[in-house]
Amino acid sequence: MKRSVRDLLFKSFDASLTEKEQQHLDSELSGSASLNEEKRQIERMRQTLAGMKHPSFKPFFADRVMNNLLKPGDESDIFFESLKLAFGRMAIAAAIIITGLLSYDAIRYHHPVLSNILPSGQNNLEQALDPALTYLQE
């Protein structure tokens, strides 16, 4: 079957054909059983599709979407969200860097890192404030 004949068949369902096109399609239909079968299949398919219920959106769906897109948002919310996003990333990066530096220090010097950073707990208040008290007494 020629492509031009098939195109004419499809066109006949969607638009009216000229007299010349209609005569050509009729002559092809009378001479070809496969073309007639294809026409019947298309007609059955179109009837089936016409009888089906089409799902659709609720009324005014497009208007609601456009209104939500165009609605001015609270600028302070946008500002604070952007700050939270930016500084959240910075906090994660800083935590990774600090963890890396502490690990490097522990591996390089072979001693417990946290015991050097955190107070030992054996000092009393006078010993902790001793440098400040001597400075103030001078």
60: alpha, beta or left? (left if phi > 0; alpha if psi -120 to 50): left
Q: How confident is the model at residue 129 (pLDDT cuts 50, 70, 90)?
A: low
Show the CA angle centred on residue 123, arms to residues 118 and 124, nearest 5°.
130
pLDDT, greater one: 49 or 114: 49
> Distance (Å, rounded) from C-alpha 85 to C-alpha 95?
16
Least-confidence region, from 19-23, 25-29, 53-57? 53-57
Give the pLDDT score at 94.
Answer: 94
For residue 64, is pLDDT > 90? no
Q: Where are the domains of the chain?
A: 3-51, 75-137
CB of 29 within 8 A of CB of 20?
no
Distances (CA, A) of 78 to 19, 74, 83: 65, 7, 9
CB of 37 within 8 A of CB of 9?
no
> Distance (Å, rounded) from C-alpha 112 to C-alpha 29?
92
Mean pLDDT of 59-67: 83
For residue 123, is pLDDT > 90? no
For residue 107, is pLDDT > 60? yes
pLDDT, greater one: 65 or 134: 65
Q: What percent of the chain has pLDDT over 90?
A: 8
Average pLDDT, whole number, for the chain? 79
Distances (CA, A) of 66 to 23, 56, 63: 50, 18, 5
